[in-house]
Amino acid sequence: MSALAELQNRLGHQFRDEALLRLALTHPSVAHDANAPLPHNQRLEFLGDSVLGLILSRELYEKFPDADEGMLTKSRAKLVNSGSLSAHARPLGLGAHLILSRGEENTGGRERASALTDAFEAVLGAIFLDGGLAAAREFVLREFAAEIGELALPSGIENPKGELQELLQSKSPTAPVYELVSSAGPDHERQFLCAVLHDGAELARGSGTSKKAAESDAALAALKILREQQTSA
């Protein structure tokens, strides 16, 4: 099996045009070293950045139907930054496959966060051109499933579970209990449904792409109900 074939297995996408993948892995230093206008990955990086933003924006738009533009923007910024993208590039082994100039190679270019970030976006751009938006979305959702699932709810409440426990224990020594009601869907789009109970009574339910996210959503729903009850009392 060739090195690029192994990489494609890790990416979860088999390229019809393997030249696109090689281009995505070609660092601009190659053109600089040759002092010639050789093709490199910056154009694909530009495309991949936009594709990534589109896919994550849609996911956040659907995940947080009550969030305003500012909240959605902040949530997307937590997902997309140079640190997070280079962290995704490393397990994929992109650094080992980068095509670099000799100078860039000798100065640690394969492990440089900026080079890995650019390569990750360029590879996404290449997947988009080779397989369309569906292939790009599948790759992004697989890569970001954990982060999206654990993303804090943009509600102005940083810790819904903690705030709910504090509110309930101000009146009772009993802590809330979370129970998994159900889970369904493929691994990269799995949905969990959790209930939060107090003194044996169900307060609310919540959903999310991880058990932790569903519990937070349930806590947020319970807080809303309890505070509305306090207001009307």
178: enclosing H helix or E strand: strand 177-184
Query: Which amino acid would we find at residue 160?
Result: P
* Residues in contact with 99: Cβ distance below 8 Å, sequence separation at least 6, in sequence order: 22, 25, 26, 27, 30
Give domain 160-232's CATH architecture. 2-Layer Sandwich (3.30)
Any idea which residues carry the catalytic annotation? 49, 121
Q: What is the pLDDT of residue 231?
A: 73
- Asked whether the beta carbons of 219 and 161 are under 8 A apart, the reply is yes
Based on its alpha-carbon atoms, the radius of gyration of the chain, rounded to whole angstroms, reads 22
The reported pTM is 0.67
Tell me the CATH class for 3-150. Answer: mainly alpha
Cα separation, 76 vs 74, in Å, equals 5
Query: How does pLDDT run along the chain (233 residues), one tens digit per residue?
Result: 467 999 999 999 999 999 999 999 999 998 877 676 789 999 999 999 999 999 999 999 998 877 778 778 888 888 887 578 999 999 999 999 999 989 888 998 898 999 999 999 999 999 999 999 999 999 999 999 988 887 765 555 668 898 899 989 888 899 999 999 999 888 767 889 999 999 999 999 998 888 988 998 899 899 989 888 877 76
- Asked whether the beta carbons of 179 and 195 are under 8 A apart, the reply is yes
| Domain ranges, ordered by start, for the chain | 3-150, 160-232
